[in-house]
Amino acid sequence: MKKLSVFFALIFAMMGIVRADEGMWLPMFVERLNYVDMQKMGLQLTPEELYSINNSSLKDAIVGLSNGAKPRGFFCTGEIVSGNSLLFTNHHCGYSSIAALSTMEHDYLNEGFAAKSFQEELPAEGVSASFLVRMENVTAEVFSVLDFDMDYVGKQKAINKKIKELEEAASEGGKLNPVIKSFFEGNEYYMFVYKTYTDVRLVFTAAQSIGKFGGDTDNWMWPRHTGDFSVFRVYGDANGEPADYSADNKPLTPKHHLPISLDGVQPDDFTMIWGFPGSTERYMTSFGINYNVDVFYPIVYEVFKAETDVMDEYMKVDKAVNIAYADNKAGLANTWKNFEGQITMLRKNKVAERKVALEEQFKEWVNSDEDRIAEYGEVFGTLDAMYAQLSEVATTLFYPNFLAQLTPMSISAEFADYHEMATIKDAPKEEKIAATEALKQMDIDAMFKDLDARVERDILVAVMNIYGKKFATEELPVEIQKLLKKAKGDWTTLANMIYDNSIFSSPESVKAFIEKPNPKKMTKDPAFVMYNALRDQMYSVAPVYRTANLAISEANHYFVKGLLEFYTRTQPDKKFYPDANSTLRMSYGSVKDYQPADAVSYDYVCTAKGILEKYIPGDFEFDAPQRLLDLIEKKDFGQYADKNGELITCFLSTNDITGGNSGSPIMNGKGELIGLAFDGNWEAMSGDVNFEPKLQRTINVDIRYVLFIIDKVYGATNLIDELDIHKAMPEPIRVEE
């Protein structure tokens, strides 16, 4: 236990050294670790006003957005901005809910929506809003169950069991949602206790021609003119407690809400962002980087890009398809462009090479001491070997996996349990009857909801052809070879043959099958045959994949443990902080421009005139509402104009964020909301692995543009009236007598 105590002390010592703009910090440490630096940069709040367990503080206005009443992570962040729990987040964070609520008659995606009263607000089904009650270090309790003679798997089982016990004890009988997360690759553990509200309602959204202006083309790019925001509200029961949706629920009275500043930003202004960053991998080794860049990311990019290209073709010309596929397409497109950016910038910024230099220093330090050799000496050899194994099986694992997820194979998979039971000769009769009866309980319409047969067919053709190019015919599973032979060796023909002849291609044929289920017919169904063959292909390499990943996890655990000790003893000024893991973090920095290349300089703000410059009438990505264009042409910006009469749409800051921070509030030194973080910049797409101080910027939508859209474009003054809006009085003009 003495060794463990020393180790924890080393971790806490390291957490005090950091750049002002680098690091995503746990708020409970703000007073001890960050407060002095933040004060020097312009923070005017006290530590107690930032984070307090017993009193109202800024943390109480920060909301994690997720699905379900017991989330363990968050897809986005929101912030409470009124005494009636009005919640701001990004448009792309609310996109799924907006799409789900949209119909041909009420096309909120393309027309927008503004509730004029509480009664008009629309339930965002499935979305939950979590407020952090407290966080605490539970490392000692978690590690108390460990026996140092346990192997790595045994330790993980013991840790997971203890985590469940601690979470259950802190839940207060289910009233709270405690979540324990590991830090530093399992070398520390913290508990985060949330109160989660499940009645969340859509209040306002601009048309996606504002909220997604620029589309995939502008994603991660600067300059930017995207009004990436949407507005929701959190409801509770009469006592302000979490409750499922009910017309009797009331808007929640929050512990704290953010005031809003219309003063705008200037270069070097202090900024801080609070939110729930999803994941970073700042301690990833060169072996992991090379695997991602050379193997994994290209596979995902190729398949997802092909799928969204098909969706785009139909979405551009068919309003119903646009509504149906909006959310799915947005998620796929965001992923493939992210991976494209990481592939490009991890190489361009030579991140793997920089990691190799660190690893060589670490190896030299390890090899200078016998005890260190015993503990850390095998780390890099293990990582090298295991990532090589992953590379060998990646094609055989991932391409079949993505193909098996497509219609009609994925629909056929829903019937696999029935088929298994129906074809077991000695299965009890009552179990066979139960399996058949279970088919009648399936919601077939839900399975096919938002699926367009034309789109699904063309996606299948596209991905089938990608799959077909990855394997020689003799490498394919025998059943796929037989199907391909029937298609005369042509993958497009095979895709169409499957779609045309499968029971599982349409809701009508599936319902007909359920009326008269026939396991023999299912056995011969081409989609089901294809699904089983793809599954067997994946299963053939799954053990290697699982074993390699487990070994990588253990090696990373010891590498980070050693790295903490290495930095503390050899480089005491080295910056060290925990990776993001979908827990509440704070980052701080300043407003700043950047220079991405020789002779290229980007300003720190964009103005609305850029919308006019990019505008393309009727374009899928660069169209804009006429009302917005007219106001910009007239420069009719009202109180939302800057001192030069311009309307700022977005601005840059040096804050350290990642996915999950989308929708996070960016605030000034007074804790006033000045914008919403929504993106990073292309040149620093490697930033999740290695922070790039000269290049890395957060792209924020200016709060004045947000309010301008709500007020001047949509006339939703009822929402403006809810807000606490601050604006400094102009300096009086003094005339010398």
Least Cα distance to 123 among 236, 233, 49, 272 occurs for 233
Bridge partners (DSSP) listed for residue 665: 676
Structure tokens at 135: 């966080």
Identified catalytic residue from 21, 52, 85, 92: 92
**Which of 3, 6, 28, 11 is closest to 586 using CA atoms?**
28
Among positive and negative, which fits the CA dihedral 390, 392, 393, 395? Answer: positive
- Sign of the alpha-carbon torsion through 164, 165, 167, 171: positive
| Spatial CA neighbour of 682 closest among 670, 699, 701 | 699
327 is catalytic: no
DSSP state of 95: H
Helix (H/G/I), strand (E/B), else coil: 177: strand
The string of DSSP letters for 506-552 reads SHHHHHHHHHS--HHHHHH-HHHHHHHHHHHHHHTTHHHHHHHHHHH
Q: Which residue has the tokens 């992953």?
A: 390
Of these residues, 228, 452, 458, 623, which one is catalytic? 228
Which amino acid is present at 606?
C
Candidates 286, 653, 662, 664; catalytic one = 662
**For residue 346, which of 338, 357, 358 has the smallest C-alpha distance?**
338
* Amino acid occupying residue 687: G
E strands of 320-475, at which residues? none
Spatial distance between the Cα atoms of 205 and 226, rounded to a whole number of angstroms: 13
Count of residues making up the chain: 737
- Give the Cβ contact number of residue 673 at 10 Å: 24
Residue 265, amino acid: V
- Per the annotation, the verdict on 21 as an active-site residue is no
Give CA–CA dist 82/71, Å, rounded.
24
Catalytic residue list contains 92: yes
* Spatial separation of the C-alpha atoms in residues 273 and 661, rounded to whole Å: 8
Residues that are catalytic: 92, 228, 662
